Amino acid sequence: MSMFVAIVAGAALGQTVGIDDVWQSGLKDASFRMKVDKASQKELQKINKDFAMSYRFDYTDVDMKEPFMLRLESVVDQERLLYIVNGPTRLIKIPRAKINKREDLSKSPGKRQTIFDFGIIAPSIFSNYMQAKFVRVDRATSDAVFDVTYVPALKDGTRHRIWVDREKKVVTKREWYNQKGGFLQATFNYSKPQKFGTLWMNTRMDVYNADGKFAGGTDFVGMKVNQNLAATMFAVK
């Protein structure tokens, strides 16, 4: 029996995977249009109101640049909306409504959007921002499973569980647990990976609420990777 236990333990140790084995180390920047395919406001509202609001836009143009630069732009009722996150600073601009709001989110990581929200993991995410704990290798898919939390200094109890394709290094699934009681908030399924140079990127995201009901689906169209986007695109001054 002791030999059997030793064999099982050795096999388990052989399955250990580090987050640095599966992140996108070569990602510098990416651009795409996030286009809503299907959405149920009834089911989205069960996730939260702000999240549901984002699905009222037919499309959002997304630009991201490492590290921690994100630009979202959309037009609703002929009104241009601009949302930029650069490091811990967030800028929201709606020119026609004369809104120009700048916030420091260094102590509010839950409000700070990053590439992680699009199912992308890169070295910057795990440098004094988030931390990952290996859970297991999924028997059905062979994906590596990790629990991802904010570093203790950020004092945010939000938790995510992610499944990562070890070959393509793309997140295939993410469960989002809120910081108030650790309840499941939503589940994201990422799919339709395409290869850009040496990198694989997902081009589809479907979200389900805590009841397991489909809430919304988006396609990432016109994906471009590592174009050397100018940092000035992400200015928050």
The Cα–Cα gap between 178 and 184 comes to: 7
Closest CA to 146 of 128, 127, 126: 126
In DSSP terms, 33 is beta-bridged to: 61, 221
The predicted pLDDT at position 10 comes to 36
The Cα–Cα gap between 153 and 180 comes to: 18
pLDDT in tens, 147-184: 999 999 999 999 999 999 999 999 999 999 998 778 99
Q: Is the pLDDT of residue 237 over 60?
A: yes
The predicted pLDDT at position 113 comes to 93
Query: What burial class does residue 128 get, using C-beta atoms within 10 Å of its C-beta: 0-12 exposed, 13-18 middle, 19+ buried?
Result: exposed
Confidence label for 14 from pLDDT (cuts 50, 70 and 90): low
For residues 184 and 14, the model is more confident at 184
The predicted pLDDT at position 96 comes to 82
CB 129 within 8 A of CB 117: no
Confidence label for 91 from pLDDT (cuts 50, 70 and 90): very high
Q: Is the pLDDT of residue 3 over 70?
A: no
Over residues 135-139, the mean pLDDT reads 97
The Cα–Cα gap between 51 and 209 comes to: 11
The predicted pLDDT at position 79 comes to 83
Q: Is the pLDDT of residue 57 over 60?
A: yes
Domains detected in the chain? 17-220 (2.50.20.10)
Over residues 131-157, the mean pLDDT reads 96
